[in-house]
Amino acid sequence: MAEDIREIWKDLNIDLERHDQLLEALPQVYEEIFLSQENRPKAMEYFDAVVADIHGARIKELYELRKQGKPVLGTFCVYVPEEIPLAVGGVCVGLCGGAEFPIPDAEKHLPRDLCPLIKSSFGFLVARLCPYCQVSTVIVGENTCDGKKKMYEIMSKHKDMYIMEMPQVKDEDGKEYWYRQVVKFKNFVEELSGEKITYENLKEAIERVNKKRKALEKLYELRKEDPAPISGRDANLIAQIAFYDDVDRFTNQVEKLNEELEERVNDGIGVAENAPRILVAGTPMPIPHWKLLYVVESCGAVVVCEESCTGSRYFEGKQVSTDGDDVNDLLKNIADAYLNTNCAIFTPNEERIEDIINKYDEYNCDGVILYNLKFCQPYSVEHAKIEEALKEEDIPVLKLESDYSDEDIGQLKLRVETFLESVS
Ligand code: SF4
Ligand code: SF4
């Protein structure tokens, strides 16, 4: 690793020794899960390089931004509107932890019976193992699930935090409440950056993020083809990288990949021909939580869509309108579009059930896997209801629950294999 990045890590107060241990295992795991795949699109090279240098080049960019006084906002949820910091030259960077490594650090402060995403995210911060956490000017939390909102109270002892309050119901009152939160967030970003958010800079930021979401939408559209032109693992990796890469560079690279995938579709080239097509729906799978998709695809299926915040919920229904005459109109458009995300913290959340059933048809699927991170109550309770709805529609469904450890891989494989036999 180049000396200059080590100097930056040092300056960010990273625990260098443990950080080296953390990064050590990555190349081997990545080789096994991603690079060993046959017939990958050439444009995946960019995303491979991003992961290979996961705490390098992008950290340097963010470090420079912060030095210029631009807001670098760490986030844990797709509800935090990235257009707002982007308007003043700042960024949002996703901090959701997907690794088991820092969980023991978190368990010194948090109960063990808590979702691994919360523990991993918290552990990365308190153990000073994540340069993205360290480089963030402020962490923007959001009061979504109970585990996260209580964790934020403890996290605020370690880092400056700003919390967005979420409504729980999407009625008119909920919409108004959320709009006011978006306005408050804009005021906070202005104060932090010392810069004014104007109609012009916000409109430009909206257009840039819309372009990113369009590119992802197109990628998922291409996955509807049979054979799928890209593996689920690769497509999902891109959705994970969306959370922290530079908006414009990422968009260009996804567009480049889409062109290649279009050619593949025209030439009838795909991955895992005649394989069962699976929709995975459920909790987010932050980087490097690649286990589930790897298990499903190594059992001979192809994952064609993830109804997840590291998947379709990241971009669907979130083309923000630029109609309107002033900043408040644009903020209203942002608030409206973001509220289209069907997170299980909302009640009721019937749109999510409809969405999963529609996706099953649109992506020409053979089965649905409802995936839950252990101890995630909102999604596990909701999945019981969704399973019932899918069965009523005669849609084959498998419910799986796991965490970030490798211990249950054999067991997961057995369950997936049995399920795939039943849908083939
Ligand atoms: S699942 Fe809900 S709380 Fe988690 S990132 Fe998505 S919207 Fe946010
Ligand atoms: S996976 Fe569930 S429990 Fe974990 S942070 Fe997301 S909503 Fe909360």
Query: Three-state SS for 304?
Result: strand
pLDDT greater than 90 at residue 3: no
Query: Three-state SS for 272?
Result: coil
Burial 160-174 (b: 16+ CB within 10 A, else e): ebbbbebbeebeeee
**Beta strand extents in 96-207 (DSSP E only):** 138-143, 161-165
Give the pLDDT band (50/70/90) at residue 2: low
Each as own residue / partner, the long-range contacts of residues 117-121 (CB below 8 Å, 24 or more positions apart, any chain) are: 117/283, 117/284, 117/286, 117/373, 117/376, 118/147, 118/148, 118/151, 120/96, 120/286, 120/404, 121/76, 121/95, 121/96, 121/97, 121/151
Chain segment 300-329, per-residue pLDDT in tens:
999 999 999 999 999 999 999 999 999 999
Ligand 2 pocket test: pick from 76, 114, 142, 145 the residue with the most ligand atoms within 8 Å of its Cβ. 145
Supply the pLDDT for residue 259.
Answer: 98
Ligand 1 pocket test: pick from 151, 343, 347 the residue with the most ligand atoms within 8 Å of its Cβ. 343
Closest CA to 381 of 416, 419, 346, 413: 346
Q: For ligand 1, which residues put their CB under 6 angstroms from it?
A: 77-79, 144-145, 284, 309, 341, 343, 345
| Percent of the chain whose pLDDT exceeds 70 | 99
Q: Which residue has the tokens 């030259």?
A: 89
Indicate which residue's Cα is closest to atom 2 of ligand 1. Answer: 343
Chain segment 341-357, per-residue pLDDT in tens:
999 999 999 999 999 99
Which tokens sit at 342? 């069907």
Supply the pLDDT for residue 306.
Answer: 98
Give the pLDDT band (50/70/90) at residue 424: confident
pLDDT greater than 80 at residue 89: yes
Give the pLDDT band (50/70/90) at residue 145: very high
Kindly give the residue spans of alpha helices, DSSP state H, lying in 91-169.
103-106, 116-126, 131-135, 146-155
**Strands of 161-165's sheet, edge to edge?**
91-94, 72-75, 138-143, 161-165
Give the pLDDT band (50/70/90) at residue 382: very high
At residue 244, φ and ψ (nearest 5 deg) are: -135, -5
Q: How far is the CA of 292 from the centre of ligand 1 (A)?
A: 18
- Which ligand is nearest to the Cα of residue 373, counting in written order? 2
